[in-house]
Amino acid sequence: MTRELFLELFTGLLREMIRIRRFEEKCVELYSATKIRGFLHLCIGEEAVAVGVVGALSEDDAVVSTYREHGHALARGVPMPSIMAEMFGKATGCSGGRGGSMHLFDASRRFYGGNAIVAGGMPVAVGLALADHLSDDRAVTVCLFGDGAFAEGEFHESANLAALWNLPVLFCCENNRYAMGTALAREHASTDLAMRAAAYGMVAWTVDGMDVIAVREATDRALEYVRDSGKPCFLELRTYRFRAHSMYDPDRYRDKSEIATWKKSDPIPALEAKLVSDGLMTPAEVERWRAGVEAEVDAEIAAAVESADAAPLEPVEDLLRHVTTEAADGVALLAGGRST
Amino acid sequence: MALEKVTLGKSITNGLRKAMEADPKVVLIGEDIGKLGGVFRITEGLQKDFGEERVIDSPLAESGIVGTAVGMALRGYRPVCEIQFDGFVYPAFDQIVSQVAKMRARSLGALKIPMVIRIPFGGGIGSPEHHSESPEAYFAHTAGLRVVACSNPEDAHWMIRQAVACDDPVIFFEPKRRYHDRAEYDTAAASAPRGLFEANVIRQGTDVTLVGYGPVVKTMIESAAAAEAEGTSIEVIDLRSLSPLPIDTIVSSVRKTGRLVVVHEASSFLGMASEISAQVTEQCFYELEAPVIRVGGANIPYPPSRMEEEFLPDLDRILDGVDRALAY
């Protein structure tokens, strides 16, 4: 690759990570201002996974995510105004305001949702991949989940099904070392998750999830493998969340020093430093570039907030709608069907 | 016109076959359904005719089966899952309640989940707990699911086809002790006798209304015949749809008879009869001559097979319920 291509790739990754971080930092403010209600789970610190993995996908690929999915949705290209409106619970949100922070959905972009149930989306990912497989589609379904999901039965059922049936699923375990407040070693008898995934007959790698370039390279390689072989693959992306589990979490289960240590691997300054050490930019150029990006991103966020604020709520009387199809009254379910 | 005498089980097989012929997106998935043809042989012959990609043998993984079907439904398929026995559905409960039932509402109608979960249910075949249960109320209680139960061969044939054609997820209960019951009907009929979510007034009567679904319908019909010999005229309603609840049919009948007995194998405690009783009381308070009587299972785990006859609503218990209603 030429210098220009490296510069374009690296700044592209960096820009998207900054965009996700600024978005979530704004969400914290909006939560405190009760503009966003319900739950709010932030991925601050884990942006390299969202950008490295989700940004590597083609349009045809599918994504199944978790409740910590703002970054995944943004990286997937779900428009920020529709995400922000969803956070606000407004009718213009990507799930019509009913899903909220944990259920961002955009089927048109093959983003099959955040999911509030840990591991709940995993069998769904297997089904999406089975559908693609039966339709001779070369798409890959990326299934993002945390280390907590690895302890759930649904992970093990899904891993077995995908490997048994040779389905194009890329399992991406976003291992941030805590299942809510329970440390990895307190939830898993064996903490080498990639090794355990390999036991299902899947190719499985461990990746530095704080290094966006490593994540992107591993994802590209994994996607190529899954597309060519039709078989599943597993990536354990070792990362760390800098913020508490949710806005309600007092974060008393880990030492401040541990958080400080991980912050030294913050993927955003790490990539800025690499731009300098690789001779792609001078420190002064990085500063200038970053100021420009932040101004652009902040303007995008401000516009999203403004439109979300102005958007209407779903009328309360409409809550009875869309629970089931309104046409399915049972009379005309088959052509020629008739009522008595 | 092709009048044939067909069993209830074979009627479901034929209905599935018709659904698969009509739509290449209809795919069956479940434990032992392909090579073996299913534990009750309902899918027998279908893998041979439609191939392993449309009749998919899965491992023992109920949550995996149901969740996989959700993913397929999101991609335009119409999966039909088979759960081997009623009591085996609980490992899939999370997928059914948290994913299957809620996707549509959660997306403001943007997503549809056209899938069917077939569950053989009820007792009377000499099996122990987990193999004789009636878990329908759990699902009827969950918004976003359609819940139906067939009771006779012709309905079984049409209802499974209608369930597959439905754009909502349908929990389809099959009365396993009636799988071998035979009835004659026109297997080449062009249209269904009634909608999937409509109740069927099987027998007209004037003194008492009997409502039930699934395996007890046959017992209710026998009870009505026995009561007639003693001069009591019973109206028998096969509920067929548990959610949505075709309450209007019941209400019309109760306005005529003034008395209602609701029958099911499931525990009476918070069973379908409880909901029907509440709704009928709300709508027919002044027409009711007696409290709504429930004839159901005791609130216990399913009993050992040697004692299941004591547990299941039989002719005597149903007629005792009728007598109690008439005593007011």
pLDDT at A173: 98
Q: Say what the pLDDT of residue A338 is.
A: 38
CA A146 – CA A172 distance, rounded (Å): 8
> What is the pLDDT at residue A336?
40
At residue A337, the pLDDT reads 43
Q: Is A13 among the domain residues?
A: yes
Q: Mark which residues 40-79 of A lie under 8 Å from B by CB.
A: 64
Residue of chain B nearest A126, judged by CA positions: B68
* B109 & B158 share domain: yes
Give the best residue of B50, B96, B107 to mutate against chain A (max A CB count within 10 A).
B107
Average pLDDT, chain B: 96
Structure tokens at A43: 């991925």
Q: Residue B215 and residue B174: Cα distance in Å, rounded?
A: 8
Contact criterion met (CB below 8 Å) for B159 and B172 = yes
Residue B193 forms part of a structural domain: no
B61 lies in some domain: yes
Q: Are residues B159 and B213 located together in one domain of the fold?
A: no
pLDDT lower than 50: segments of chain B: none
pLDDT above 70: percentage of residues in chain A: 96
What's residue A291's pLDDT? 97
User: Which of B68, B77, B204, B241 is the best residue to mutate to test the A interface, defined by the most A CB atoms within 10 Å of its own CB?
Assistant: B68
Residue B288, classed as helix, strand or coil, is coil
Backbone angles phi, psi at B237, to 5 degrees: -120, 125
| Residue A335, pLDDT above cutoff 50 | no
Number of folded domains in chain B?
2
Query: Of the residues B160, B186, B212, which one is the last residue of a structural domain?
Result: B186
Torsion of CA B303, B309, B315, B318, to 10 degrees: -20
Q: Is residue B16 part of a domain?
A: yes
Residue B23 covered by a domain: yes
Query: Quick one: B173 and B257 in the same domain?
Result: no
**Which chain B residues are within 8 Å of A320, Cβ to Cβ?**
none
* pLDDT tens string A57-94: 999 999 999 999 999 999 999 999 999 999 999 999 99
Distance CA A101, CA A63 (A): 16
Comparing alpha-carbon positions, the chain A residue that sits nearest to B143 is A323
CB–CB contact B168 A325 (8 Å): yes
CA distances from B111 to A56, A128, A303 (A): 26, 14, 28
Amino acid identity for residue A122 in this structure: M
- Average pLDDT for A102-124: 94
Query: Is residue B298 in some structural domain?
Result: yes
Domain end marker among B186, B220, B252: B186
- Check which CATH number belongs to the domain holding A182 and give it: 3.40.50.970
Any CB–CB contact under 8 A between A323 and chain B?
Answer: yes
Interface of A with B in 237-256 (CB under 8 A): none
Report the catalytic residues of B: 131
Q: Is residue B191 part of a domain?
A: no
Cβ pair B195:A97 closer than 8 A: no
Does residue B194 lie in a domain region? no
Same domain, B215 and B282: yes
Residue A338 lies in a domain: no
Same-domain pairing of B68 and B113? yes
Q: Which pLDDT band holds residue A330 (cuts at 50, 70, 90)? A: very low
Interface confidence: ipTM more than 0.85: yes
Mean pLDDT of A96-101: 92
For chain A, strand residue ranges (E) read 62-64, 141-146, 169-175, 178-179, 182-183, 203-208, 233-238
Residue A340 has what pLDDT? Answer: 31
Q: Confidence band (pLDDT; 50, 70, 90) for A332?
A: low
Residue A308 lies in a domain: yes
Average the pLDDT over A258-275 and give the result. Answer: 97
Q: How far apart are CA B108 and CA A319, in angstroms?
A: 9
CATH number at B141 reads 3.40.50.970
Give the end of a domain, one of B157, B186, B215.
Answer: B186
**Same domain, residue pair B138 and B104:** yes
Domain residue limits at B288: 200-326
Distance between B298 CA and the closest CA of chain A, angstroms: 33
- Say if B262 falls within a structural domain: yes
Number of domains chain A contains: 1
Parent domain of A258: 3-329
User: What was the pLDDT predicted at A327?
Assistant: 58
Residues B40 and B164 reside in one and the same domain? yes
Residues B158 and B134 in one domain: yes
What's the CATH code of the domain at B212? 3.40.50.920
Q: How far apart are the CA of A236 and the nearest CA of chain B, in angstroms?
A: 22
pLDDT band at A334 (very low <50, low <70, confident <90, very high): low
**Interface test with chain B among A104, A117, A130, A160, by most B beta carbons within 10 Å:** A130
B255 shares a domain with B294: yes
Q: Which residues of chain A are within 8 Å of residue B77 when distances are taken between CB atoms? A: 131, 134
pLDDT at A325: 87
pTM beyond cutoff 0.90: yes
pLDDT digits (tens, 9 = 90+) for A272-302: 999 999 999 999 999 999 999 999 999 999 9
- Both structure tokens of A53: 């993995």
Q: How far apart are CA B256 and CA A30, in angstroms?
A: 59
CB A270 within 8 A of CB A210: yes
**Residue A336 falls inside a structural domain:** no
Q: Which of B63, B74, B143 sits opposite A112 (nearest CB)?
A: B74
Note whether B117 and B178 are same-domain residues. Answer: yes
Q: Answer yes or no: do B80 and B173 share one domain.
A: yes
Give yes or no: residues B236 and B313 share one domain: yes
Q: How far is B154 from chain A (nearest CA, A)?
A: 14
Chain A residues lying within 8 Å of B70, measured CB to CB: 123-124, 127
Render pLDDT for A128-159 as a digit per residue (tens, 0 to 9): 999 999 998 899 999 999 999 999 999 999 99
Q: Calculate how close chain A gets to B110, using CA atoms only, in Å.
A: 8
